[in-house]
Amino acid sequence: MSAENLHVGVIGATGAVGVELINVMFDRNFPVGELTLFASERSAGKTLETKYGTKTVTLFSVEEARKCDIVFLAVSGDFAKEYAPQIAAGDGALVIDNSSAFRLNDDVPLIVPEINGDLAKTAKLIANPNCTTAIAAVALWPLHQAFGLKKVFVSTYQAASGAGQPGMNELREGLAAGLKGEEIKAEVFSHPLAFNVIPHIDTFQENGYTREEMKVTWETRKIFGVPDLAISCTAVRIPTERTHSESIVVETEKPVTPQAARDVLAKARGVKLVDNPEKLEYPMPINATKQYDVEVGRIRTNLIFGDHGLELFVAGDQLLKGAALNAVQIAEASIA
Amino acid sequence: MSAENLHVGVIGATGAVGVELINVMFDRNFPVGELTLFASERSAGKTLETKYGTKTVTLFSVEEARKCDIVFLAVSGDFAKEYAPQIAAGDGALVIDNSSAFRLNDDVPLIVPEINGDLAKTAKLIANPNCTTAIAAVALWPLHQAFGLKKVFVSTYQAASGAGQPGMNELREGLAAGLKGEEIKAEVFSHPLAFNVIPHIDTFQENGYTREEMKVTWETRKIFGVPDLAISCTAVRIPTERTHSESIVVETEKPVTPQAARDVLAKARGVKLVDNPEKLEYPMPINATKQYDVEVGRIRTNLIFGDHGLELFVAGDQLLKGAALNAVQIAEASIA
């Protein structure tokens, strides 16, 4: 694909991820020649203010979408399942899909560009990973390359933004109600999120894990190309607005020290080492929000695995590295 | 000690834990004959509304405190270090100290009554454990007895209440400010807590863990009587008001199934099994708050340790089982 003046389509441009997709393309000077924002009949014809100027929303059709060079899908898995293959077929557009629809499909690469970006050069349909997975993966991959990951235990602290703008709105409304002593409503989340913690994201599987938790296992294995990687997750929604944090323990194949891990992570792409406890510097949502890099810190020798183990904490913007940024980086890799 | 009409003293009665101590004694019909609330000169003479009626605060002195049968200390470790031994010495009062001052002292029992309550019968000075430790311990002890704990990995979701009433106030003020787009102040916590996650509670140790994290290791080992128990923790403050949650992975000595674990936990004292994901029932702060029992759920076979491992989630009221309730239960055990 030529790297100049691409015709880019965005489906789901008004959602939390869609808005960030357009911002990120602009901020990274992605070679957008023409930008088409697609929506259903309900929104078609409306105008949207974007960094590329005021845009009128186009009614989605496969035919129109196929005219693009690249189409970003920031909509539901059901929509993606139906339309992504049609948009990509033959001489259609390169489709980069943010949903989970194709992530585990053997024919569809699942890409975190810092890890396996070369797969973007030949594919016509590419899956963007789950947000929690992408954020953990950029921190874990350099450690895996340097020390070999034998076991990985993840517990997440996921923001309302994981449920899009409606999730963020429900949190803010719930906090305002809670502060006044009023009832906190729950429509987006399964329970009130304000002043609460919900150990339940996505649907429960037969094995007792949620899909969100299993995505971390399934997707990390695929992205790393390690089909039997021992990785488990507890995924928890907490009352923050944006940026997911993760507490991670790893056992390594080779001996590792916190300083050796820091040296590796300091050079790693997509990672910002924030690990000066004596200066009260460690990864936190207030700092990681709206940043491209995933913050990694609190690195210490795990008490259980000793010199073959680390404990660490990461914080990454779910809407950026966990979604929009990674998708744009995939597009960049496809034309590199 | 006679179990009738005890003279009970509370030092720190206006703090978040002190208030709950008085409530819990009343609600559990602890045999209080006389209740004396002690404070420094600043508060002495003031009146406090309690379930035992209006109480005038008495100026603290060792001499007056020694006249009590039981004295609860809900103040700083420094105060406890100086005065607890003097209050307890000789024919002084039984002292139950909520601070960390004596928890690791070989001569002072550290008690979670469901586990080692018999130690309360002979001691004159008893330490009440760290909140996170006590909450995890009631869930882990029955599993340890039934299956043997080989490795324990804990990540915590700790409420502002862990920093007392000032912490809860700062959170509420921060949330109100954040909702209005105003600056969020941090005086109690090292960073703004509202809309944030802070992976830092108590001071950092040389090994990179915080004292809060090491307390879980040190104190659980002492309470369980297993000096080399392999247990590590990442302790994280989140913007909730009350009740700590914990994500826990265990490797067991003996094979274990989720159902076998549920059967054990369903019968365990101090535990409420809340584990019906299909009904959206799992441990959460909104339900565990102001409850005596620690909620345990999300029990599943850990993907990494297989039939020798479990993953689970707990939620317990930090001010109750994590502090006031446990202290009163210690007092009950001392007169049982």
Query: Both A187 and A306 in a single domain?
Result: yes
Does residue B113 form part of some domain? yes
| B155 touching A (Cβ < 8 Å) | yes
Tokens, residue A93: 């557009």
Which residue in A has a C-alpha nearest to residue B306's C-alpha?
A230
Rounded to a whole number of angstroms, the distance between the first and last alpha carbons of chain B is: 9
- Cα separation, A217 vs A206, in Å, equals 15
Measured between beta carbons, the chain B residues lying within 8 angstroms of A149 are none
Does residue B202 form part of some domain? yes
The complex's ipTM?
Answer: 0.96
Which residue in A has a C-alpha nearest to residue B280's C-alpha?
A190
B325-335 vs B16-27: helix crossing angle, rounded to 10: 50
CA distance B207 to chain A (A): 7
Q: Is B131 a catalytic residue?
A: yes
Answer for the pair A221, A231: CB distance below 8 angstroms, yes or no: yes
Measured between beta carbons, the chain A residues lying within 8 angstroms of B196 are 240, 284-286
What is the count of residue pairs from A and B with beta carbons less than 8 Å apart? Answer: 164
Does residue A1 form part of some domain? no
Predicted confidence (pLDDT) per residue in B197-222, tens digit: 999 999 999 999 999 999 999 999 99
CB proximity under 8 Å: B 202-231 to A: 204, 207-209, 217, 230-231
Query: Both A309 and A196 in a single domain?
Result: yes
Q: Please name the residue that has the structure tokens 């059709």.
A: A61
CA distance A112 to chain B (A): 24
Does residue B313 form part of some domain? yes
Tokens, residue B204: 């950092």
Query: Both B189 and B268 in a single domain?
Result: yes
- Cα separation, A112 vs A134, in Å, equals 7
Query: Both B145 and B278 in a single domain?
Result: yes
CATH of the domain at B109: 3.40.50.720
Measured between beta carbons, the chain A residues lying within 8 angstroms of B258 are 208
- Cα separation, A75 vs A92, in Å, equals 19
Question: Per-residue pLDDT for chain B (336 aa), expressed as one digit of tens each?
Answer: 556 799 999 999 988 899 999 999 999 999 999 999 998 888 889 999 999 999 999 999 999 999 999 999 999 899 999 999 999 999 999 999 999 999 999 999 999 999 999 999 999 999 999 999 999 999 999 999 999 999 999 999 999 999 989 999 999 999 999 999 999 999 999 999 999 999 999 999 999 999 999 999 999 999 999 999 999 999 999 999 999 999 999 999 999 999 999 999 999 999 999 999 999 999 999 999 999 999 999 999 999 999 999 999 999 999 999 999 999 999 999 998
Amino acid letter at A235?
A: A
B49: exposed, middle or buried (C-beta count within 10 Å: 0-12, 13-18, 19+)?
A: exposed
If we measure between CA atoms, which residue out of A272, A273, A274 comes closest to residue A320? A272
Answer for the pair B264, B142: CB distance below 8 angstroms, yes or no: yes
A273: exposed, middle or buried (C-beta count within 10 Å: 0-12, 13-18, 19+)?
A: buried
Answer for the pair B100, B79: CB distance below 8 angstroms, yes or no: no
- Cα separation, A286 vs A278, in Å, equals 19
- A278-284 long-range contacts, Cβ below 8 Å, gap at least 24? A278/B204, A280/B190, A280/B191, A280/B200, A282/A313, A282/B199, A282/B200, A283/A245, A283/A313, A283/A314, A283/A315, A283/B199, A284/A245, A284/A315, A284/B191, A284/B196, A284/B197, A284/B198, A284/B199
Tokens, residue A111: 């890409």
Does residue B221 form part of some domain? yes
| pLDDT of A244 | 97
Best residue of A149, A155, A218 to probe chain B, by most B CBs closer than 10 Å: A155
| pLDDT of A4 | 76
The CA-atom distances, in angstroms, between B241 and each of A197, B100, B160, B163 are 11, 22, 5, 10
DSSP designation for B160: G
| A277 touching B (Cβ < 8 Å) | yes
Best residue of A153, A217, A290 to probe chain B, by most B CBs closer than 10 Å: A153
Radius of gyration for chain B, computed over Cα atoms and rounded to the nearest angstrom: 20
CA distance B268 to chain A (A): 22
Q: Mean pLDDT across chain A, nearest whole number?
A: 96
| A284 touching B (Cβ < 8 Å) | yes
CA distance A212 to chain B (A): 14
Total domains present in chain A? 2
Which residue in A has a C-alpha nearest to residue B314's C-alpha?
A199
Out of B68, B131, B233, B308, which one is annotated catalytic? B131
Determine if residue B322 is labeled as part of a ligand binding site.
no
| pLDDT of B2 | 56
Query: Both A112 and A236 in a single domain?
Result: no
Query: Both B302 and B331 in a single domain?
Result: no
Tokens, residue A308: 């073959």
Q: Please name the residue that has the structure tokens 């060079």.
A: A69
Residues with Cβ < 8 Å from B302, sequence gap 6 or more? A232, B249, B250, B251, B309, B310, B311
Measured between beta carbons, the chain B residues lying within 8 angstroms of A195 are 240-241, 285-286
SS3 A271: strand
Answer for the pair A333, A121: CB distance below 8 angstroms, yes or no: yes
Q: What pairs with residue A276 in β-bridges?
A: A281
| pLDDT of B3 | 66
Query: Both A12 and A124 in a single domain?
Result: yes
If we measure between CA atoms, which residue out of B80, B91, B101, B90 comes closest to residue B38? B80
Which residue in A has a C-alpha nearest to residue B251's C-alpha?
A304
| pLDDT of A230 | 98
| pLDDT of B30 | 97
| pLDDT of B1 | 57
Query: Both B125 and B146 in a single domain?
Result: no
Q: Is A131 a catalytic residue?
A: yes
| pLDDT of A3 | 65
Query: Both A166 and A302 in a single domain?
Result: yes
Does residue A204 form part of some domain? yes
CATH of the domain at A312: 3.30.360.10
Predicted confidence (pLDDT) per residue in A252-293, tens digit: 999 999 999 999 999 999 999 999 999 999 999 999 999 999
Query: Both A294 and A262 in a single domain?
Result: yes
Answer for the pair A126, A334: CB distance below 8 angstroms, yes or no: yes
Structural domain for B51, as ranges: 6-130+323-335
Does residue A87 form part of some domain? yes
| pLDDT of A43 | 87
Does residue B244 form part of some domain? yes
Question: Per-residue pLDDT for chain A (336 aa), expressed as one digit of tens each?
Answer: 556 799 999 999 988 899 999 999 999 999 999 999 998 888 889 999 999 999 999 999 999 999 999 999 999 899 999 999 999 999 999 999 999 999 999 999 999 999 999 999 999 999 999 999 999 999 999 999 999 999 999 999 999 999 989 999 999 999 999 999 999 999 999 999 999 999 999 999 999 999 999 999 999 999 999 999 999 999 999 999 999 999 999 999 999 999 999 999 999 999 999 999 999 999 999 999 999 999 999 999 999 999 999 999 999 999 999 999 999 999 999 998
Query: Both A239 and A308 in a single domain?
Result: yes
| pLDDT of A42 | 87
Compare CB distances from B176 to A157, A179, A315 and report the shortest one's residue. Answer: A179
| A290 touching B (Cβ < 8 Å) | no
Helix (H) or strand (E) holding A77: helix A77-88
SS3 A86: helix
Query: Both B164 and B279 in a single domain?
Result: yes
- Cα separation, B213 vs A249, in Å, equals 14
How do B149-157 and B244-252 pair as beta strands? antiparallel
| pLDDT of B136 | 98
Answer for the pair A217, A210: CB distance below 8 angstroms, yes or no: no
